[in-house]
Chains A and B, each alone.
Chain A
Amino acid sequence: MTHCSTIRLDNLAVNFDDRFQLTDINWQIEPQQHWVITGTNGAGKSALAAILAGVINNGAECLSGTVEGLPARVGLVSFEAQAALIDAELKKDDADIMDVISEGTPVREILYEDCQDTELAEQLIEKFGLELLLDRSFRKLSTGESRKVMLIRALASKPDLLVLDEPFDGLDTKTLGMLQQHLATLIDTVPMVMVLNRFDEFPDFITDIAYVEKGTLQHQVRRDDARAYAELYQLLHLKTTDLTIPTADSENAIPSLDPEQPLVRLNNITIKYDEKKVISDLNWTINPNQHWQLSGPNGSGKTGLLSLITGDHPQCYVNDIFVFGFKRGSGESIWQIKQFIGYVSTALQWEYRVGTSIRNVIISGFYDSIGLYSKSTDAQKGIADQWLALLGMANRADQPFNKLSYGDQRLLLIARAMVKHPPLLILDEPCLGLDGMNRQLVLALIEKICAGSETSVIYVNHHPEDQIKGIDNYLAL
């Protein structure tokens, strides 16, 4: 039986030293649940864990909202707590400086300071191999050793809630195994909240995951919701891995363009259907390395305008259009145009109803085709695999595309569009139809692309919140 009741954090905002704030925290922890808090570095994971350990009014200030149901006895293991203890020890040293040279507090004393279960403490001391260190001064321990002390201290304090902030960091494999085993024996008695960064470290008994980003609790996912769990994995993967965009295919490079020439120049463009003009007399020049945002209400002709550039709109032949060194309608083929463009839109996704493998979907970007109809080279396969690794889909390379979730398909189509490092990447409402998590995934990927390549981006969207860093030219229809 646990002694913990439901813990509720409602509309909570907390100020930490004016350096960091948590805002809009709404969270409920049930007695039978075991949570992982995860997120990128600096997102506020440890801060959120610290609230459960009682940091409010004890180093942090509550700006608004309430915390209810926090148990009296919380076992806390964290780097901060460890550092604070060592700090305190060092301060003692300073204080004693005039006196006899201090040996500092022995490990034994630290361990039993708060101990509620001597038997357990002794068992753990033995298991963790700390017997020989009991009389050593705490501050003289290595980081790993002092971490073990902190763990035993917390576990033997008979807590009503265990808060473990990166508990596995710095432990050798043997100790790690032992600790995980021990934690597994506690799951019916103590609810646990762990801060962990790596999905592969999540213990099996974890029931729920909280994803923290920019000081707020953005997603709460149940472990048994397989799809949401997989998406969260990808999001964390994209956000935390040090991404580098795979190189282009050096064997089949895109012809180089004259850097002095604009990529696209549209002169007095008109698009009309049944004599009704949707766009008239529009001029637009896109120079190399410019990023553009294109906006406008539904039906304002955004997609039509873009398809004049890609060559998919038949009226590109009756307008004055210059793209990638070609005057349209002068004997060039659309494949000569498309080789310079990466393109993603909802319509493309609809058309891309193909049962081919997701690796082939990425490779099809080299050929601008829907489906793959050419023999791909080993180099291309290698690049596709790098993209799949980047997307966190390396283990799914041979799965059929049409069986994937909508969000995964979108990510793959963005990778397909980028695989050849096109001079121009057109993203026509890339987040349309995606839920919050998939939106973030897509935006995270696009941001990496904008930052890491020579590609000019045209970004079409409705949503002011879907901003992309680095876009500074705007065209509104």
Chain B
Amino acid sequence: MPNNYFNTLPLREQLEQLAKCRFMDISEFPEGVEALKGKKMVVIGCGAQGLAQGMNLRDSGCDVSYTLRQAAIDEKRQSWKNATENGFTVGTYEELIPTADVVLNLTPDKQHTAVVKAIMPLMKQDACLSYSHGFNIVEEGMKIREDLTVIMVAPKCPGSEVRNEYVRGFGVPTLIAVHEDNDPKGEGLALAKAYAVGTGGHKAGVLMSSFIAEVKSDLMGEQTILCGMLQTGSLLCFDKMVEEGVDAGYASKLVQFGWETVTEALKYGGVTNMLDRLSNPAKIKCFDLSEELKQIMRPLYNKHQDDIINGTFSRTMMEDWANDDVNLLGWRAETAETAFEKTPAGDVEISEQEFFDNGILMVAMVKAGVELAFETMTAAGIIADSAYYESLHETPLIANTIARKKLYEMNATISDTAEYGCYLYNHACLPLLADFMKDIKTDVIGRGLNVEDNGVDNGRLIEVNEALRSHPVEAIGSVLRGHMADMKKIV
């Protein structure tokens, strides 16, 4: 059984690692990709992250090639096609790993132990091994050869976004870290910075963090607000509308495209801006709903965070890995059978504003989820910057995947780890909200408020506005969005 690295550390160090996070200014990257010049970079795996990162690095002047497992090469799998069609050299582990100065492990997290065990003996003395997610090191306690430098460069976006933003001349926010147990020559940070520049991340903002903070915050965000809340919310909102007689095609469309539309407003001005899109009476209604939701769901968020911190989550998931993913596959099939998933979006026009007006409950769920995830993470010692990226920042990106092909697409795009956590959340959250949903009517989901005039009590409105603006996720959000000045102008 793997040995949880985090749990081996003394409390003092656990807290120190969790709190490690500093926003780096673009002026801290004057050397560009210099530290990687003349070095040979070999990427293992050519999936979503592998292809996008490799193309960016090559376009930044780095020497990039790919190594795939023998079967992928022999069968000319998609990963092989991705690499060869884009003009990269592809070879076996034996052919390429020994030549590599930097090995980029971009295989699925679940495969990391096997992959790293296979390639480590082939790696050059003093070379560098990099990850885009620290699960293997932190949760599985993988021990890496002492002469090797171990770093992490983790783009906070799906692979497609990593590539698209680079091509636009920009990048995506990126977290970098050095595994302190494996930095024999003290060059880890320089390599990680150069790698972040090579993928364009420095233009959008780099967080210097630790393996531990990355893993514990990443897991928390993805299983609660990002994927879990959107999945649970989709199912509840759709079923409620159908139950109340809203046309199923309409309901399907409102939910499928509603997340994307309402969370788009987060990119520009956070939760405050999202609620500002509602009429005054709707805003007050939405605020009240989200307060109620937060109260109901807070214990669930705490539980997820606790299980992540103490290793319960990764342990149970790895038990499922060992059991041929029986749970994961079962839950995936179950999701595919839900009414929301099986009802195609109707051929109706829904205006941008209508998604807000008729989706008050969805807005309330996003607000509650973002704020709860943020509050829970910071309470666990994770720094606000990190908590912001793992909650509010990524929500619209995940919402886009639902707009493309519903929950199927979301769960296909996110990692297996995120998917597993998402189902756990969903299973706990559905019953938790059952009573709450009984009182929900179509005024907050499906048809919009039916009010004669838009008048509201001024005092109450001022209170609500004040509460929205003073939430800590809004303060850090406006600072970090400021760093990405023009990102918010992209539509």
Contact = CB atoms under 8 A, between A and B. Distances in A.
Contact of B486 (A273, A312, A371): A371
Contacts of A312: 167
A249 B463 CA distance: 50
B96 to A, nearest CB: 17
Q: Which range contains the number of B residues in contact with the other chain?
A: 20 to 34
Interface string A352-363: 011110001000
Interface in B6-45: 33, 37-38
Given A311-B59, A333-B60, A333-B61, A371 B490 contact: yes
A373 B61 contact: no
Given A367-B169, A371-B169, A371-B170, A402 B491 contact: yes
Contact of A314 (B33, B38, B87, B170): B87
Nearest to A369: B169
B166 to A, nearest CB: 9
A284 interface: no
A246 to B, nearest CB: 22
B91 to A, nearest CB: 15
A373 B485 contact: yes
B460 interface: no
A255 to B, nearest CB: 16
B165 to A, nearest CB: 9
A317 interface: yes
B120 to A, nearest CB: 28
Contacts of A355: 489-491
A332 B169 contact: no
B170 A369 contact: yes
Nearest to A367: B169
Interface in B433-491: 485-487, 489-491
Contact of A356 (B37, B61, B489): B489
Given A273-B85, A355-B491, A369 B60 contact: no
Contact of B491 (A316, A336, A353, A360): A353
Contacts of B33: 333
B56 to A, nearest CB: 10
B203 A314 contact: no
B86 interface: yes
A354 B491 CA distance: 5
A318 B169 contact: no
B215 interface: no
B55 interface: yes
A315 interface: yes
B332 interface: no
B110 interface: no
Nearest to A273: B85
Nearest to B164: A351
Nearest to A353: B491
Contacts of A373: 169-170, 203-204, 485-487
Contact of B490 (A273, A317, A333, A354): A354
Contacts of A332: 61
A370 B38 CA distance: 30
Contact of A318 (B38, B61, B87, B485): B87
Nearest to B490: A371
B277 interface: no
A333 B56 CA distance: 10
A444 interface: no
Interface string A307-343: 0000110111110000000000001111110000000
A315 B87 contact: yes
Contacts of A360: 486, 489
B185 interface: no
Interface centre among A274, A334, A335 (most CB of B within 10 A): A334
Nearest to A317: B87
A183 interface: no
User: Which of B33, B86, B167, B486 has the most CB atoms of chain A within a 10 A radius of its CB?
Assistant: B486
A368 interface: yes
B112 interface: no
A120 B139 CA distance: 99
B315 interface: no
A369 to B, nearest CB: 3
B200 to A, nearest CB: 10
19 contacts: A311-B59, A312-B167, A315-B86, A317-B58, A318-B87, A331-B38, A331-B61, A333-B59, A334-B60, A335-B169, A355-B491, A364-B169, A367-B169, A370-B169, A371-B170, A373-B170, A373-B204, A373-B486, A375-B485
Interface of B: 33, 37-38, 55, 58-61, 63, 85-88, 167-170, 203-204, 485-487, 489-491
Given A332-B61, A373-B485, 5 more contacts: A273-B85, A315-B87, A316-B87, A355-B490, A356-B490
Closest 4 CB pairs of A and B: A369-B169, A314-B86, A370-B168, A318-B87
